[in-house]
Structure 1
């Protein structure tokens, strides 16, 4: 299986983007610069940042580049993300011995200035004017924001602790409060930028490249704080910030922070982004062929290990990744024919992917993360089927893939398909009818009109086309976590209970024998009894057992009567015959309250006519 992390190997044909960014980074005329690497969730932004970071660190042409990779999400829990990201960047620089040697004092002073900013933020939160507080050396605002640990220290050593707070306040005053007319916020920004720019100059880098990932996971306030920290404090000469983010999330954050005041107000989100992001680069969604290739490459990545990079290199050299050409297993194996890499697991998984990739590619919305998750879930469900149903061939890969594709395309339609299956006696009649309609390319305004969607129609026509003729109970059973109503499989029964079912089927026309068998079933412990009752419903749905079995169960097991009546309504798709009228009469006589809605529904659906309806009601009441 595959971990949902950024990949160090480029399987998404992002090499041109990384080369483009490298050219931009090397161009001193473009500094300072903030690049927006825009793309939807799961499109591969983190992978591209990983590739870019590796390129910068391994750049043999220019050793003057230095890269720092920051994950914005780690600042989510901080009260002030603005100072946190600044502090994190400086601490990364402080870990470089060469930088410390050249500008250690400057880095330390900048970190102290950030500490002062934190004190200011804490004081402001108390509601006491900071300038007045510090001008009078009053430590109250700072003290009111102290943590429990700090207060414990004050209690143990009050004199030393209070003196320390006064010293901090005095230091803050000397650095930030110039006079009564001074605007300390503007001073903070200006002083920090100036000192940060001097520090960058002293460490002698040609470009400090800061990669920021997962910004779109933060809440709106944090997103704005981080963007403003970059714009106001950090974007100076010889710096490039590359921010990987979903542009839609940033726009939402801006609208939350600066909502429209009236219907006539201007939406500032576009202008705001343009003020901070000088160069937007948008990653496109993968095409269906790209997704197919990605699925195939994921298989070989799992088994080839370190050798896999050379395969990707050869695909690049041959231009296969750029020209919408499908990558075949034969092509990959030709590249590594001299390597002893094959295993039974690889061959089996490779064959599976070959069978399913064209079915599923269209459902994954051009998203590599979805592709990984699809494969992982596919393997999980396949393994569950092997465990539940005792065998590698318990289900067919292509059928599982097709059903999962519908689940990914539209979960409501997957639920609808399951409902159709539950209503059918043999196969899925409505799906077969839908297939005929889609084949004729004429979907009328009826119950199938909601399927008049290109992606859904492609799903209907994808292989295997005839799943409407298949027993899908096992597939729905292993997918029951996403279904509103649980399904059931006969393979879940114990060997002994399977024999009971076989006896019921063998004696389906012998009411006396069936009554004897069912009378024993209802005396079993609850779980076994429930499993057998569900099996009876399933077999009735498939017309393997008749209404006589349900009538006997209805007679002997009063707690199940409501469910039995619902089963009769749901499953009866053909007209009730004369023999079955008698069974309905006996059931109605036993429990009219449970059966009355059932009989009414069958009449409304045309499954029983007025004569049979009256016969059931009148004779049952005698």
Structure 2
């Protein structure tokens, strides 16, 4: 098998490629259509990425062996580089064109001469529709395409065109030189074109193609129809929901929701990971399936994106280990590290708000009232709600209640709150009696999971790693932006904020130059910047002075201007606290520290 670094988001094109075990539904649906009365419209309903196109391909494979003529139309392709009003006529014309091409590819378009005049009339009509749109810059008006003023004559013209379409289909079915018994139009990607255009296409199909011997299989999301009808009925409410549903029911006689709940996501996951040369121990297969169930759910497209992110970040992590194993405690990442990385990516993709909380404090199971207050979550109010709704047996720990509270103002998260709780309870049980190991693995996973995070929160953009309860930033700019925001929120004066932040940045740059000369590392954490020779503290709200703690000083009796001794913090570590004013001479400070640091 060819080894790849990622997988593409392509639908399957035949039943042999089915890893989700959805082909049984395709078999039943294709037989239903084969035996159905006509005209008939079947709606494949499902949100983005649930396998509608794959189902169409599976139906197409069946129809090819069942004496059924087919026409595949990708509506999105017809909408490209066309104005909205031109799209519908192009799609309708494409349906007949593709029917002819499909039959010709099988050597069964046996009515070329018999249908020539009818095809010409239909194409001319649709051309008039498009021309009228271009001329008047208006929406599609099937009735106005004949340019007749008399309404009755317009209706007659539409009826005549519909008759011509029916005649084409009838001649194809009745011709003894082929074995076709029915025509099926497979209409894909209606939910990728603007909703109002999708509704326009549906109405036009009903007006012109609703003829005997025809079945339409439409891949569409009901929510797209709702959005497309808002210009007619307004926003959907409980009062007008019947109008939306009535329109949908008039167009689609047989709704078929994609059976995502029955998909074998574990089978698809396993096959895709193997194709990427990622080996999962057999005893962890169920764990990966559970993580998928609790995060992205049963959406095949989302799973492929998920796996690609995992493949990239896993490779990056392994590369980092090969370059410098010290950050990993000299222990190579193992299968459990893979599982936790996979889980944190799932949280980052599916629940970014919860992911933001974890980047603040990685030890989820130690979240407490103080953490809740910091994130504007009223823990007492949450507990009252939980008791009110009778869910207290599932939410008896602070961390669970904080997650519950964080989800209540978001409609999506509110519906997924118990999935999130199930995930973290599952992981805790998986690492039973090893909570420290779990926390260490979460810390390491967060370092990499943040890389593919799509989030406009400044604290997430700069956070690259979690170490216990300490946040590590990727750069000083992000840290200073965060400090500025916190000082403003705490009521510090604007002028004072800029003075102390300028002092802070200058002091950081001086310390960084010293660290570079010493060849030592540093870390930008939430509470301080850690150097080998000391800690640069966050600027306080009340004063313009910035704090710094220096260690292992031989002598600090002769201080440079602007460096003020506060006292010994830790005699054993020879840690001395200082305050730094805006008047500090940074060259003198650098010389002082270089001379006196042991």
Q: Shorter-chain-normalised TM-score: which range? A: 0.5 to 0.7
Instruction: Report SS of the residue matched to 2:535.
Output: helix
Q: Does the alignment pair 1:450 with 2:405? A: yes
* Aligned equivalent of 1:100, options 112, 118, 140: 112
Instruction: Report SS of the residue matched to 1:69.
Output: strand
Partner of 1:86: 92
Separation in structure 1 between the aligned mates of residue 278 and residue 340 of structure 2, nearest angstrom: 20
Specify whether residues 577 and 38 from structure 1 end up closer, same or farther in structure 2 by C-alpha distance, changes over 3 A only.
Answer: farther
Work out the number of aligned pairs and report it: 448
CA-to-aligned-CA distance 1:143-195 (integer Å, 9 cap, x gap): xxxxxxxxxxxxxxxxxxxxxxxxxxxxx9xxx466x5344542342121011
Partner of 1:430: 366
Specify whether residues 419 and 224 from structure 1 end up closer, same or farther in structure 2 by C-alpha distance, changes over 3 A only.
Answer: same
* Aligned equivalent of 2:74, options 71, 76, 79: 71
1:541 Cα deviation (Å)? Answer: 7.5
1:306-321 superposed matches below 5 A = none
8 Å Cα contact 1:473-1:487 kept in structure 2:
no
Specify whether residues 363 and 277 from structure 1 end up closer, same or farther in structure 2 by C-alpha distance, changes over 3 A only.
Answer: same
Partner of 1:537: 524
1:106-255 superposed matches below 5 A = 106-125=118-137, 176=146, 181-183=150-152, 185-204=154-173, 205-255=180-230
Separation in structure 2 between the aligned mates of residue 474 and residue 68 of structure 1, nearest angstrom: 52
8 Å Cα contact 2:348-2:449 kept in structure 1:
no
8 Å Cα contact 1:76-1:222 kept in structure 2:
no
Separation in structure 2 between the aligned mates of residue 585 and residue 286 of structure 1, nearest angstrom: 62
CA-to-aligned-CA distance 1:327-380 (integer Å, 9 cap, x gap): xxxxxxxxxxxxxxxxxx365698875663333332122212222221111111
Specify whether residues 16 and 101 from structure 1 end up closer, same or farther in structure 2 by C-alpha distance, changes over 3 A only.
Answer: farther
Q: Does the alignment pair 1:550 with 2:535? A: yes
Q: Does the alignment pair 1:469 with 2:439? A: yes
CA-to-aligned-CA distance 1:3-53 (integer Å, 9 cap, x gap): 11211322222223212222222225x200011111122221111111111
Separation in structure 2 between the aligned mates of residue 256 and residue 236 of structure 1, nearest angstrom: 29
- Alignment root-mean-square deviation, CA: 4.7
CA-to-aligned-CA distance 1:422-467 (integer Å, 9 cap, x gap): xxxxx67735999xx9999513597565279322221222235435
8 Å Cα contact 1:431-1:468 kept in structure 2:
no
8 Å Cα contact 2:537-2:547 kept in structure 1:
no
Instruction: Report SS of the residue matched to 1:376.
Output: helix
Instruction: Report SS of the residue matched to 2:50.
Output: coil
Partner of 2:340: 399
Partner of 2:569: 579
Q: Which has the higher contact order (CA 8 A, sep 6+)?
A: 1
Instruction: Report SS of the residue matched to 1:365.
Output: coil
Per the normalisation by structure 2, the TM-score is: 0.63
Specify whether residues 113 and 411 from structure 1 end up closer, same or farther in structure 2 by C-alpha distance, changes over 3 A only.
Answer: same
Specify whether residues 420 and 104 from structure 1 end up closer, same or farther in structure 2 by C-alpha distance, changes over 3 A only.
Answer: same
**Which sits farther off after the overlay, 85-94 or 438-447?**
438-447
Higher strand share: 2
Partner of 1:53: 60
Q: Does the alignment pair 1:276 with 2:272? A: no
8 Å Cα contact 1:477-1:488 kept in structure 2:
yes
8 Å Cα contact 1:480-1:486 kept in structure 2:
no
Gaps of at least 5 residues in structure 2 are: 1-5, 174-179, 326-331, 372-382, 384-391, 408-416, 467-471, 473-507, 540-544, 550-565, 585-598
Gaps of at least 5 residues in structure 1 are: 135-171, 304-344, 422-426, 493-516, 555-560, 566-575, 594-622
Separation in structure 2 between the aligned mates of residue 346 and residue 263 of structure 1, nearest angstrom: 49
8 Å Cα contact 2:76-2:190 kept in structure 1:
yes
Specify whether residues 406 and 282 from structure 1 end up closer, same or farther in structure 2 by C-alpha distance, changes over 3 A only.
Answer: same
Separation in structure 1 between the aligned mates of residue 511 and residue 423 of structure 2, nearest angstrom: 46
8 Å Cα contact 1:551-1:587 kept in structure 2:
no
Separation in structure 2 between the aligned mates of residue 486 and residue 211 of structure 1, nearest angstrom: 48
Partner of 2:486: none
Separation in structure 2 between the aligned mates of residue 130 and residue 45 of structure 1, nearest angstrom: 29
Partner of 2:26: 18
8 Å Cα contact 1:417-1:431 kept in structure 2:
no
Q: Does the alignment pair 1:479 with 2:449? A: yes
* Aligned equivalent of 1:359, options 259, 266, 291: 291
Specify whether residues 177 and 212 from structure 1 end up closer, same or farther in structure 2 by C-alpha distance, changes over 3 A only.
Answer: closer
**Which sits farther off after the overlay, 226-235 or 90-99?**
90-99
Instruction: Report SS of the residue matched to 2:44.
Output: strand
1:414 Cα deviation (Å)? Answer: 0.9
Q: Which is greater in Rg?
A: 1
1:488 Cα deviation (Å)? Answer: 4.4
Specify whether residues 224 and 449 from structure 1 end up closer, same or farther in structure 2 by C-alpha distance, changes over 3 A only.
Answer: closer
Instruction: Report SS of the residue matched to 1:370.
Output: helix
Separation in structure 1 between the aligned mates of residue 520 and residue 364 of structure 2, nearest angstrom: 23
* Aligned equivalent of 1:418, options 351, 354, 359: 359
8 Å Cα contact 2:44-2:217 kept in structure 1:
yes
Instruction: Report SS of the residue matched to 2:184.
Output: strand
Separation in structure 1 between the aligned mates of residue 351 and residue 236 of structure 2, nearest angstrom: 37
Per the normalisation by structure 1, the TM-score is: 0.61
